[in-house]
Chains A and B, each alone.
Chain A
Amino acid sequence: MSTAYFLANTKINHEMDVINEARSILRQEDIPHEIQGVFGVYDVVIKVSAKDSKTLQTIIQEKLRRITSVESSITMVVDEGAKLDA
């Protein structure tokens, strides 16, 4: 299981569009996810999981980074060896 956090900056005033489009795509593809709009250096945090890192990479590059109104993003892949769930 591979997990990543995708932090996106959106076009101004398009935060909800990005959130709704992300939710729609991820639900449609049955991809486990969490989405949260935020205040700060980034506008949206999307957590996605996949069965392996290759699938995760595809989700990020072909689904998330192509969402309309995503201007930029950074991705952080979870270190599965260091994971300690609270």
Chain B
Amino acid sequence: MATAYVLLNCQIGSERHIIEQIKSMEGVKEVRGVFGAYDILIKIQTASVERLREIITWKIRKIDKIRSTLTLMGVEGQE
């Protein structure tokens, strides 16, 4: 099981629209609008790291109005 947290910043006002698109994506366990240095936090879990990378690179990072993303890869055994 591979886990990652993706923190993203988006254009102002686009948070709800982006969350709507993300919540139904494969592997997405949590997606929350947050207050702080980032706008949206996503927790993704998949069977493999390769699939995790694909989802982040080709699904999440392709969404319109996302300005930047920061990915934190979970360390197995450190839960």
Contact = CB atoms under 8 A, between A and B. Distances in A.
Q: Report whether chain A binds chain B.
A: yes
Interface of A: 3, 5, 7, 15-16, 19, 34-42, 44-45, 74-79, 81-86
Contact residue range for chain B?
20 to 34
Contacts of B20: 84
Nearest to B32: A78
Given A36-B79, A42-B72, A82 B36 contact: no
28 contacts: A5-B41, A15-B78, A16-B78, A35-B78, A36-B5, A37-B75, A37-B77, A37-B79, A39-B72, A40-B71, A42-B72, A44-B78, A74-B37, A75-B36, A76-B7, A76-B35, A76-B38, A77-B34, A77-B35, A77-B36, A78-B32, A78-B35, A79-B33, A79-B34, A79-B35, A84-B20, A85-B30, A86-B22
Nearest to A44: B78
Interface in B3-23: 3-5, 7, 15-16, 19-20, 22-23
